[in-house]
Each structure stands twice: as C-alpha cells, then as structure tokens.
Amino acid sequence: MNDDRSRSPAGLSYDESTPESVGDRLRASFKVLIGGKSNGSARSEIEHVLAADEVDGEAFAPEERAMLRAVLKLGDMRVDDVMVPRADIDAVDHDVPLATVLMAFKEAGHSRLPVYRETLDDPMGMVHLKDVVGWMLEHARKDLEQPESMAAAEEETERRFRFSASLDFSPVDLSQPLRSSGIIRPILFVPPSMPARMLLERMQAGRTQMALVIDEYGGTDGLVSLEDLVETIVGEIEDEHDDEEDADIAKVAEGVFVADARAELDELADVIGPAFQMGELGEEVETVGGLIYTLLGRIPVRGEIVNALDGFEIEILEADPRRIKRVRIRERRKGRLVQRVKSRQATEPALPAPSGSPPALQIADKPRATESPSSSDTSD
C-alpha cells in the first residue's frame, strides 16, 4: 500500500491537501519550537528563512524576521535571562490586612502578587485580585429589605434591574489579615538555570502565569510571569493597567539627542533635521527601537554603542533582554566623535547593568544584590 504522506520540515506529517507554502511550514515550525519540543528541522527551517531575502516568492517584514529570531533565541535563554530582579518584585506580607492588599494592587498595577512570610526568602504563594474581590462579594450582605408598598416594590425592582444587585459592603471586614482569608494560591518555584522554553511549557500545562525564581540556597532571586516569556517573542505588551508614558525626544546639547525607543522615526527626523537620513530603512521600520534592532539583528545591552547609521552614533542608555528603552544619539563630525568614544571605551570599565526603578511597594527586608541577566526589566 502506497503511503502518500510526507514529512514537513517541522517534523509534522501532512497529505496532498495540506498547503506547502513557506508560511504554512513556518507556522508548523513555530508551534514545534514554542511547544518545547526541540526539533532540528524546525530550527533549520526558520534559519533558512532568515538567511534568504525571499522564500517561495514571499518576503518577510523586519518585524516578522525579528519575531522569528526571538523564537530561536528563546530556545537558548534561561529563566534568569527574562526574570524580574528581586529588587523590582512587588509583593505583600501574609500578615497585612486585606485593605492593604487592595492598595498594593492599586499601586503595583498587577493582577497577581507574591505572598511571603516576613521576608521574600520565605514565599507562601500568590494572591489574585479577583480572589480578593470575590471574597468581598461573599461577605457582603444583600439588601433584602421588603418594600412597604407596591409602588416602592416596583421602584425597587427597576433599581435592581439597573444595577444587577443591591449589596451592602458594611459587613465586609477589610482589617482581616490576608493569611486567614483563604485566598492565597500556590505558586510555581523554578531554578534560575531552567530553560525559558521549558518554563513556558510548564506554565501552559499547569495553567499558571507566575513563577518565583529560587536560587540554590533557597533565596528568592526573581519573578517570571507568562507575559514576560511572551514578550521575549512579540515585544512589550501594554494593557490598560500599564502607565502611559510619552515617547519623548529631547535635544540635550548641540548635536546630542535623547530619545525613547518607542519614538517615531519621523518625529526624530523632524527634531534632528535633514542630516538624519535613514534611506530605505525608513520605509521598513517606524520606531527608534525598531531601527536599532534592524541595524543589529538583536537587542543591544546597556552602554553599547551602535555605529551602523551613517553620520550618527547611538548609545543604549536603557535596555533589558526583551526591549530597548532609551537611547542617546550623537551626530558625528569629521570622525572626532568616533575616536573619542573608542578611546573612552578603552579606558573606562563597562557600564553596570540597570538596577531598575524602585519597587512600588516596600519589601520587608533589604533586597540582596543579585547578578543581572547576562544579556543586559518586566507589570498585568
């Protein structure tokens, strides 16, 4: 009996009715790699596409190529490459009242927070905002007072229809400590050396979205969320709870500009003037961060100097393993700037990795010094 089935480059079987375009093959390869199943053919397929300008007549945009490179990079990354450092973790003590927990959610802007005993090195689990709200609803008293007349009854019925329910929250005791509320959930503990792709697979299988990174001595090194892992592939994800910040551009000196990596290239060109020419790159990318990624083919580290743009150098002021945040752009004049920068790099030590902004919540103990991810933050 003849077997008409063949094997796709991703190691998946398909028949004659299955399209064999490069897009279909890449989608299959993408699923294999993201699913945590190492497959040399799948990786080779993506590497082949990245090496070619066009495959089967299909050209990929720079953003698509960046995502494909990120998929390959994820397979080489460890948990400590993507984790939020200990000093930046927002967490709550299990002894605090529920009112404090609600304020912590408001200040942190997250929907989940780790819970600890006394110090972050003794984690208990995590608390979800919806569980706090659910606890409040369970302890609220429904307004079941009987109306005194038919007219009042009709008015009450209409009022309840408009507002769905009438609840009295006066019985809700928000001074009750978190530990006795029964809403603390288990949390996943992982070592810093775990492959990031393996953690992604465990989160998918366990339907969990948060893990604490624990070192060999049992101390807390950092935190990883499912969003952190996804952002390594698709870039920064912002929702309605994230603080909205202006992607600003500022001239700080003659020929020197500081810009947010999210700033539009057209706006940057307006500020700098006609000397800032991007050529064909201006048609492929839209933001400063996208321009730098396209020039390098990777996320640069803090302090790195990019000299790939004619007439200008770009210094990375802030970056993490997932994205570029802020840059300084200097106009080169007769080569003097390049010589000065190279001389400075030869005599000065490398810039330290960014320590991040102070956490919104004060942790009970003073954070220990931790080693920054090797390639150099994470918010709900």
Task: Using the predicted structure, report yes or no on whether residue 370 has a pLDDT greater than 90.
Answer: no
What residues contact residue 18 under an 8 Å CB cut-off, 6+ apart? 8, 24
- CA–CA separation, 264 and 247 (whole Å): 8
Q: Give the pLDDT confidence score for residue 366 in this predicted structure.
A: 41
Q: Give the pLDDT confidence score for residue 343 in this predicted structure.
A: 41
**pLDDT tens digits for range 1-27:** 444 433 333 333 333 344 445 455 555
Q: Give the pLDDT confidence score for residue 243 in this predicted structure.
A: 52
Task: Using the predicted structure, report yes or no on whether residue 224 has a pLDDT greater than 70.
Answer: yes
Are 85 and 225 found together in one domain? yes
pTM of the model: 0.54
Better pLDDT: 355 or 167: 167
Better pLDDT: 286 or 13: 286
Are 333 and 223 found together in one domain? no
What's the whole-number average pLDDT of the chain? 73
**pLDDT tens digits for range 263-274:** 888 888 889 888
Q: Give the pLDDT confidence score for residue 130 in this predicted structure.
A: 93
Are 198 and 311 found together in one domain? no
Asked if residues 250 and 258 have their Cβ atoms less than 8 Å apart, the reply is: yes
Highest mean pLDDT out of 51-55, 193-197, 336-340: 193-197
Tokens of 374: 């090797």
Q: What is the CATH number of the domain that holds 199?
A: 3.10.580.10
Q: Give the pLDDT confidence score for residue 141 in this predicted structure.
A: 67
Are 227 and 311 found together in one domain? no
> pLDDT > 70: what percent of the chain?
61
* Antiparallel, parallel or unpaired: β 92-93 and 112-117: parallel
Task: Using the predicted structure, report yes or no on whether residue 92 has a pLDDT greater than 80.
Answer: yes
Q: Which of the residue ranges 28-42, 88-102, 125-139, 226-240 would you say has the lowest mean pLDDT?
A: 28-42
Position 162 in a domain: no
Q: What is the mean pLDDT of residues 324-342?
A: 67
Q: Which of the residue ranges 33-47, 121-135, 162-176, 364-378 would you say has the lowest mean pLDDT?
A: 364-378
Position 309 in a domain: yes
User: What is the number of residues in the chain?
Assistant: 380
What residues contact residue 37 under an 8 Å CB cut-off, 6+ apart? none
Position 276 in a domain: yes
Are 259 and 339 found together in one domain? yes
Are 266 and 206 found together in one domain? no
Q: What is the mean pLDDT of residues 132-141?
A: 87
Question: Minimal CA–CA distance to 12: which of 34, 2, 31?
Answer: 31
What is the 3 state secondary structure string of 169-194? CCCCCCCCEHHHCCCCECCEEECCCC
Are 318 and 191 found together in one domain? no
Position 6 in a domain: no
- CA–CA separation, 291 and 279 (whole Å): 12
Q: What is the mean pLDDT of residues 111-127?
A: 94
Question: Minimal CA–CA distance to 196: which of 187, 204, 185?
Answer: 204
Residue 42: what are its φ and ψ, rounded to 5°?
Answer: -65, -45
Q: Which of the residue ranges 48-52, 188-192, 244-248 would you say has the lowest mean pLDDT?
A: 244-248
- CA–CA separation, 83 and 214 (whole Å): 11
Are 208 and 334 found together in one domain? no
- CA–CA separation, 73 and 70 (whole Å): 5
Are 67 and 200 found together in one domain? no
- CA–CA separation, 93 and 115 (whole Å): 6
- CA–CA separation, 100 and 236 (whole Å): 29
Position 356 in a domain: no
- Using alpha carbons, list the distances in angstroms from residue 335 to 139, 276, 312, 338: 71, 16, 10, 5
Position 282 in a domain: yes
Position 256 in a domain: yes
> Of 234, 261, 293, at which residue does a domain stop?
234
- CA–CA separation, 85 and 91 (whole Å): 13
Tell me the one-letter amino acid at 36: G
Tokens of 106: 């408001």
- CA–CA separation, 116 and 130 (whole Å): 19
Q: What is the CATH number of the domain that holds 313?
A: 3.30.465.10
Are 111 and 89 found together in one domain? yes
Are 100 and 61 found together in one domain? no
- CA–CA separation, 83 and 97 (whole Å): 28
Q: Give the pLDDT confidence score for residue 367 in this predicted structure.
A: 44
Position 177 in a domain: no
Residue span of the structural domain in which 299 resides: 249-347
Asked if residues 127 and 112 have their Cβ atoms less than 8 Å apart, the reply is: yes
Tell me the one-letter amino acid at 44: S
When divided into structural domains, the chain yields a total of 3
Are 258 and 302 found together in one domain? yes
